[in-house]
């Protein structure tokens, strides 16, 4: 929605409309690779440019930059609105399945084997602890000597 009048003469309602459109483009940009390539300020400038080129040009001139990045970034953002095809989604899903750690997939054989090993180690630890307690033969677990002589008054 480009405006013919200067930016300083835009009403608050018109600026609010530009802002809302730019935020919509910003949400779309989050679905693209733009964040990996461009800075947040550049993405914001492109989103404002998609909403109102006049407002964006005024802002870019005030920052002293040329804005040469805007056309390519606008293309990336606009392509982000297109939904991927079913085959592309299936391919991504196949690749993600290859990346999963089978030890963390509940019900897989690797997960069950890992759980069995954890249970075995826990049982061994409990058994060892119980054996240590039995082998003390009634001795004080903290030691019998305090290293201090007690008087009859201290008892």
Reported as a pLDDT band with limits 50, 70 and 90, residue 82 is confident
Q: Which of 21, 14, 22 is nearest to 41 (CA)?
A: 22
Which of 67-76, 95-104, 141-150 shows the highest mean pLDDT? 67-76
Supply 64's token pair. 């002293």
Mean pLDDT of the residues in the chain = 84
Residue 68 pLDDT greater than 50, yes or no: yes
Residue 89 pLDDT greater than 90, yes or no: no
Reported as a pLDDT band with limits 50, 70 and 90, residue 155 is low
Specify the residue for token string 């982000």. 80
The pLDDT of residue 50 is 94
Mean pLDDT of all residues in 49-77: 89
Residue 117 pLDDT greater than 50, yes or no: yes
Supply 77's token pair. 């953002």
d(CA 98, CA 42): 35
Mean pLDDT of all residues in 92-103: 84
CA dihedral 57, 61, 62, 68 (to 10 degrees): 90
Specify the residue for token string 């690749």. 95
Q: Are 76 and 34 in contact (CB under 8 A)?
A: yes
């Amino acid at each position: 929605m480009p405006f013919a009048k200067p930016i300083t003469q835009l009403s608050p309602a018109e600026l609010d409309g530009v802002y809302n459109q730019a935020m919509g483009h910003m949400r779309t940009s989050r679905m693209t690779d733009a964040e990996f390539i461009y800075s947040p300020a550049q993405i914001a400038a492109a989103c404002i440019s998609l909403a109102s080129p006049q407002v964006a040009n005024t802002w870019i001139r005030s920052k002293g930059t040329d804005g040469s990045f805007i056309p390519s970034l606008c293309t990336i953002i606009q392509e982000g609105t297109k939904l991927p095809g079913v085959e592309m989604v299936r391919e991504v899903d196949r690749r993600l399945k290859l990346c999963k750690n089978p030890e963390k997939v509940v019900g897989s054989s690797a997960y069950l084997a890992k759980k069995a090993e954890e249970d075995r180690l826990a049982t061994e630890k409990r058994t060892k602890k119980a054996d240590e307690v039995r082998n003390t033969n009634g001795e004080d677990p903290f030691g019998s000597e305090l290293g201090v002589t007690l008087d009859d008054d201290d008892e």
